[in-house]
Amino acid sequence: MIDALSPWGLETLERHNDKNIPGSTERTISRSVIEDTENRLWLMERIAGTQVNKRSAIAENLLTLQKSGMDWLLPYQETKDGQVIAEVMGLPWQLSPFYASDELPRPEYVFDAERGTELAKFITQLREHTKGKEMQGQDQSFALIEYARKLVETVKEREPTVYKRLEPICARLFPKMEQFPQLPKAFCHGDFHPLNVLWKGKKVGAVIDWEFSGMRPEIYDVANMIGCVAFENPGALGEGLIPAFMDGLYDNTDISDDSYESLPAYIPALRFAWLSEWLRKKDHEMIEMELEFMELLLAVMG
């Protein structure tokens, strides 16, 4: 029998089916935790053939960041042949370290300033270790305004009640969104929020799920993180994690004034992607919550 770990020059001791594997299950075909004969735990993921190019680029980027000295990474391992994707029984697989993390206490974590400071450190390091480097993959800084317009046109045709709520939101946001493509770009995680962080106590242990990483407007990760936290409890906009996160960014990054000025509009603009997901799933409760949240964010914008 072929040892699953053999492409990486490792030997399997046992599989651990009892381990909770963090991250989205939708981004792989299958996942399992394997212990090698040196008692190290690995996460082995089978991916689709259509994911090979993207996953190869992600793996190369994580290795670049690791070699640069960035913390909090779980890079995909290179095989004995120096490949970042192994073929096992004719199927593509990737291997990365398994990290045993602590559970994030929801929803009370949103008022924890220490976690906000930690999250700002990640953004700071990501900017430092990607600046001036040629990162792999496609430019992800697509025009968010075009995405939103297409979504709204579909909503207008299929969900007129939802469209009625969206009209005034679009009237406020679209003029500001037209300016987003001119903002400075940077390499971004692309789905940065506390649930994609593996925590050790209140410290960041590792950051996972890099599937949407790439060059984007530099404020992208900041806006996504704030939106996800505030969606759990809008009170967090003024207390706890989010203010501490912003203080850490102001003190330690060179994010431009133009990007900061766009942030109040960028946060609700990114929620179009979440709204699209709830519409696709026909989750009417979440659709209502998302619309209310977007309206609240616009009210905060003034």
- Quote the pLDDT of residue 137: 80
> Residue 193 above 70 pLDDT?
yes
Rg (CA), the chain: 20
pLDDT digits (tens, 9 = 90+) for 238-296: 999 999 999 999 999 999 999 999 999 999 999 999 999 999 999 999 999 999 999 99
Q: How far is CA 83 from CA 4, 77, 133, 147, 178, in A?
A: 15, 8, 21, 35, 41
User: Would you tell me how many other CB atoms lie within 10 Å of the CB of residue 267?
Assistant: 26
* Rounded mean pLDDT, 50-54: 95
Percentage above 90 pLDDT, the chain:
92
> Residue 63 above 70 pLDDT?
yes
What confidence category does residue 81 fall into, taking pLDDT thresholds of 50, 70 and 90? very high
pLDDT digits (tens, 9 = 90+) for 86-133: 998 899 999 999 999 999 999 999 999 999 999 999 999 999 999 989
- Quote the pLDDT of residue 89: 86
pLDDT digits (tens, 9 = 90+) for 125-155: 999 999 989 898 877 767 899 999 999 999 9
CB 30 within 8 A of CB 45: yes
